[in-house]
Chains A and B, each alone.
Chain A
């Protein structure tokens, strides 16, 4: 279980997050919505340990972030908003590159299986020649190498076609339900959020999201 209690983040005098709290249980897909600049990416980066909060507590499966950073990082798979891939390498080379640096020693077949599972079949194609959807899939596949328990995805389906979007969302749901993983992801696609998320957190004080989600009968978490 991921527990976030009263975290705050400031950039100079600008307060981005103020006493934000949330939790995710195993097997849950949780959505995070809000206007641009509401702090969704900052929040995700804090949970992913890319940056630290000014105050507050974070715990993953009973381990505090403060004193178990290395162990916590092994349990997290973070998919940044930007496509974080070596464009000059092939899909195979990208997978092998990070498999070699990972904690879990995966064989080439195991790496390929992750990609196939995500409907990414262009194994020997150079990343720069892949479509946007395929790049997004590889972006997620790389984060799955260490079999993380908590998956944090920052707009993983932005700018891609409906088929790839559906495949990705379906895959994430499957990961949560079948492998009891915790998934937190941000998106601006409300249809996707309402279809695949068990609960949704709204960042910022915007009644639009609240009204929309209530109308769709989605459980809204209190942050």
Chain B
């Protein structure tokens, strides 16, 4: 009975409803893909020629490949130099034969040969990066060399290979985070860490923003139907308008939650239930917000004007477009202002959970008192 009537109304606006329902998923994927493509375009193309083909040279190339700003192509010397001439590459670096042998023997000169042209705008920056990595490798090798000498000198029973010593050294580097330093002002407890994670333009931040907008637009039916003269006909109907209203709400919510779970499966590689729960609570919060605004407005145009501004404000306060971590570190209570922040922390906000319950009660009361 209810579903038949709801379908009659929905089928007249099926396309826009589907577009709004799928908008957060589609736009999040598009924006993230676009961002990744833009980041790829911004990378500096260089070629590495590995003449040594040793374990150490391969490890060196692997580390280079992890640098976000570089696109590394492995190729032969002639091909690389030809590409450089054609300005298809910024610069070419050749890991010379005996790279591993020289390093192990603590010889650090002329290990890498570099080529550039007058159009190699990033050559110096890339060269510095590669030199620094080579220096690190050389230092590791030197340290390993020294340790091995000491072990021999003092007739130690421990038999460590060169690679084992290097691996041990790397483990220690990672454990003690030797390059991480905390800074703080005198007499202040808070410290800022260079490793501090921000939520700036993450896929979930983008999704949260589009979800707010799409939920607001999907709930324009609250204004369109509640203020329609036809509502008076529910007086003579078997089910009351309030029952019809909340049944519609439940149907919308169910469809949205299914799409949200689908979105999570697409965006995340692992399925973590606690995160899905946080996501669903966020959607409930969006719905509660949409209801709250909609029941207070009579004109759908005002609703279309106010809600995008509200979505933008909540996304800003949630730290989607500008970093808010330092601000929230100083005034933690302010982080409760936007439900987006809780989502990005994969946390359920108590304040917004209470808000959902209060809004449902308020809307129920308001709609129940519609008639005599």
Contacts and interface: CB of A to CB of B under 8 A. Distances in A.
Interface string A137-152: 0000011001010000
Contacts of A78: 232, 235-236
Secondary structure call for the B interface: helix
Interface string B227-245: 0111111111111000010
Given A80-B229, A86-B9, A101 B371 contact: no
Contacts of A85: 230
B233 A142 contact: yes
Interface string A82-113: 11111011000100111011110000000000
Interface of A: 46, 48-52, 69, 73-74, 76-78, 80, 82-86, 88-89, 93, 96-98, 100-103, 142-143, 146, 148
A159 to B, nearest CB: 15
A103 B372 contact: no
B235 A49 contact: yes
B8 A93 contact: yes
Interface of B: 1, 4-5, 8-9, 12-13, 228-239, 244, 371-372
Contacts of A89: 8-9, 12
Contact of A82 (B229, B237, B244): B229
Contacts of B229: 80, 82-84
A88 B12 contact: yes
Given A49-B372, A50-B371, A52-B372, A84 B238 contact: no
B234 A101 contact: yes
A74 B238 CA distance: 9
Given A86-B9, A88-B12, A102 B372 contact: no
A101 B5 CA distance: 8
A71 B229 CA distance: 23
A51 B8 contact: no
Contact of A97 (B5, B228, B232, B371): B5
Contacts of A148: 236
B99 to A, nearest CB: 74
A50 B235 contact: yes
A208 B89 CA distance: 97
Nearest to B4: A100
Contacts of A97: 5, 8-9
A148 B8 CA distance: 25
A50 B232 contact: yes
Nearest to B225: A86
A186 B1 CA distance: 34
Contacts of B235: 48-50, 73, 76, 78
A86 B372 contact: no
A80 B9 contact: no
A16 to B, nearest CB: 15
A90 to B, nearest CB: 10
B12 A84 contact: no
A52 B235 CA distance: 13
Nearest to A148: B236
A180 to B, nearest CB: 19
Given A50-B372, A82-B229, A83-B229, A73 B236 contact: yes
Contacts of B9: 86, 88-89, 97
A142 to B, nearest CB: 7
Given A49-B371, A49-B372, A84-B232, A98 B12 contact: no
A84 B241 CA distance: 15
Contacts of B12: 88-89
Contact of B372 (A51, A83, A96): A51
8 contacts: A69-B372, A76-B235, A77-B236, A86-B230, A93-B8, A96-B4, A97-B9, A100-B4
A100 to B, nearest CB: 5
B227 to A, nearest CB: 11
Given A93-B8, A100-B4, A84 B236 contact: no
B230 A101 contact: no
Contacts of B228: 84
B236 A100 contact: no
Given A86-B230, A97-B5, A143 B236 contact: yes
Contact of A102 (B231, B232, B238): B238
A135 B245 CA distance: 25
Given A52-B372, A76-B236, A78-B232, 5 more contacts: A86-B9, A97-B5, A102-B238, A142-B233, A146-B236
